[in-house]
Chain A
Amino acid sequence: MNNTPADRSSEPLLQVQDLQVTFKTDLADVRAVRGVSFDVYPGETVGIVGESGSGKSVTNLALMGLVPKPPGRIDGGQVWYDGQNLLELDDRSMQSIRGHKIAMIFQDPMTALNPLMTVGQQLTEMTRLHLGLSKSAANDQAADMLELVGISNAKKRLRDYPHQFSGGMRQRVMIAMALSCQPDLLIADEPTTALDVTIQAQILELLRELQEKRGTSIIMITHDLGVVAEICDRVLVMYAGQVVEKAEVKELFANPQHPYTKGLLRSLPRFDQVTDSLYAIPGQPPDLGNLPAGCAFRDRCDVSVEQCSQEAPELYSLHDGRLVSCFVAKEEASNA
């Protein structure tokens, strides 16, 4: 858990408003992100969890200006950072922000690392460009960063190519790369999936220290609810391209509101015992290229009512400041 509470009285560092992203495919227009809004305050860690394919990566790629166009298309929304709408910046201005002010740890290290360049070349490229380091200073810093993320013999391994590293080591190379320019906002997309739990704990501690020292904000996308519990202040839950619930981390775990969130928490495997048949949310997520009317979760929901198939719920604000996109949860909260 975070011991330095984020300062939410100040202005948000980043404001995402009604973001919409669509991919044009032969079959249909895939509506990957359908009106996502959230704020990130200085020094805060916002977790994003949710269904595989629900638009977590695309949301964050969009705010980095990295959605491939075509087939991708930003259909609407704004991303405010430092007084500018990032969606309107030209490539050059965006490049000076990317990696420097806002850095991203990509979900798939093999697509983000260049197989033909040594790890050292890739680690020093950004720091030489953005921080103006000399070649040898950049090399020293790169070796320090690799050591920080737990790669031994770092000076020598700078000369290796990505394929000579293990899956988790590549992931750590990306973490080192993202941290090396000391960004104000770090977007970490599944940064620890390939790491064992001891190294994962070390990385989470590194992020926490960074946050304490520099007030870095973090967007943490992860399927690992243990990681969410350890490091996040607030959490967004995504389903089918939308945010369906927003809550403080403690409240989300203690008192989930949206039926999808409840199902997700119920699906968690136990560490201390073997369960005969693991609970999984029944059914399949909707096709984002052919969305039904009404709530996108209703076919899989065990509390849905008539209204759910007729209109789509908005993100309602409950009395205790929580946000949930569900007619039933809203009704229950107002009766309570």
Chain B
Amino acid sequence: MPEAQTSDNQPLLQVDDLKVHFPFSRGSFLNPERGFIRAVDGLSFDIAEGETLALVGESGCGKSTTARAIINLVKPTSGTVRLNGDDITGLDDKSMMQHRRVVQMVFQDPIASLNPRMTVGDIIGEPLKIHGLAKGKDRKLEVLRLMDLVGLNPRFLNRYPHEFSGGQRQRIGIARALAVNPKLILCDEPVSALDVSIQAQIVNLLRDLQQQLGLSYLFIAHDLSVVRQIANRVGVMYLGRLVELGDSESVYENPTHPYTEALLSAVPVPDPELAASRDRIRLRGEVPSPDKQYPGCSFADRCPLVEDQCRSERPEHKSIADEHTIACWVRQ
């Protein structure tokens, strides 16, 4: 894994106390019910130049929303996002435009993010066109180079998204994100639709590009083996917040928050004999709901170690090792 090029100056991305609350109103006309889904509820982290931070955590805990808020696809409720020191929080499309060359996103849902009426060549070439980076024959050559880079057969240039398999579509999204030579790529489940060989190819590619160009990644993934291969640091999220953040090695070797422990113990092992015999920590209790407010730790109801304080007071992040913090009353 490439060493992050740590520099003394400011981090490339700084996210400070980010909150995204979605208002909802359900129920009938006469009996309406209004409230907020606290998708992201006070998230802070940095990403240095040349560094990969992975976000992992329960499905629905706010990972995609975090990424979308960073590039202003959803409007943050509060908090700040800084890119190269510039406050980009809540910028409108036009002002965001100049930053789009610096930060790109690979979306979780490839089919929903690809225009069905554009050919693959046009989709990948679009950012080059928008930012005026290449025209005509040059653009086509560049598109072909990008297709080759992500393992798409260049013969597919004039095909439409629906003519591809799930994994092939994911690679179209990756090629498009790479087109403008960004400094930071927000990768939302970039390899989960791919077979392990192509997955390895893409992970190698992302690491190579990082080494050559000093790229940074926010890498969202459920596959903890892949995360291990690519992340310098790992943030574990639970219900809109980070519960553990640290150096990858430290988190994998010493998972300390009870949720992190449960998560790492549940990784399926690719070995049928072992799979049958192995122990994993099972989470009991009701999955908490992001439309409720919890005064204490949001994991309390499912935590095997829960104490009284956990239900009444919210734990803050405390350092438990070098470059490794957790938010937990019991384990701090």
Contacts and interface: CB of A to CB of B under 8 A. Distances in A.
A164 B60 CA distance: 10
Contacts of A107: 166, 193
A280 B267 contact: no
A253 B222 CA distance: 23
Interface in A245-259: 249-250, 253
Pick from A30, A152, A198 the residue with the most CB of B within 10 Å.
A198
Interface residues of A, number: 78
Interface of A: 1, 23, 25-27, 30, 49-53, 57, 71, 107-111, 150-153, 156, 159-160, 164-169, 171-172, 190, 193-201, 204, 223-230, 249-250, 253, 263-265, 267-281, 284-285, 287, 289-290
A194 B224 contact: no
A27 B222 contact: no
Given A167-B59, A204-B268, A272-B252, 5 more contacts: A107-B193, A110-B111, A198-B283, A201-B268, A263-B197
B158 A27 contact: yes
B273 interface: yes
26 contacts: A23-B163, A25-B159, A25-B163, A53-B168, A57-B165, A108-B110, A111-B111, A152-B286, A152-B288, A160-B24, A164-B22, A167-B64, A169-B60, A193-B192, A193-B193, A223-B193, A253-B272, A269-B200, A271-B225, A271-B228, A275-B229, A279-B200, A280-B198, A284-B153, A285-B153, A289-B155
Chain A interface helix/strand/loop/mixed: loop
A226 B269 contact: yes
Contacts of B26: 156, 159-160
A30 B276 CA distance: 41
Interface in B13-36: 22, 24, 26-27, 33
Interface string B222-253: 11111011000000000000000000000010
A223 B272 CA distance: 15
B268 A197 contact: yes
B166 A200 contact: no
Nearest to A51: B195
B121 interface: no
Nearest to A172: B59
B263 interface: yes
B269 A229 contact: yes
Contact of A53 (B112, B164, B196, B203): B164
Contacts of B332: none
B200 A167 contact: no
A285 B275 CA distance: 31
B111 A196 contact: no
A267 B204 CA distance: 11
Given A227-B268, A229-B272, A196 B109 contact: no
Contacts of A273: 228
A198 B263 contact: yes
Pick from B37, B65, B228 the residue with the most CB of A within 10 Å.
B228
Contact of B222 (A49, A195, A228, A249): A195
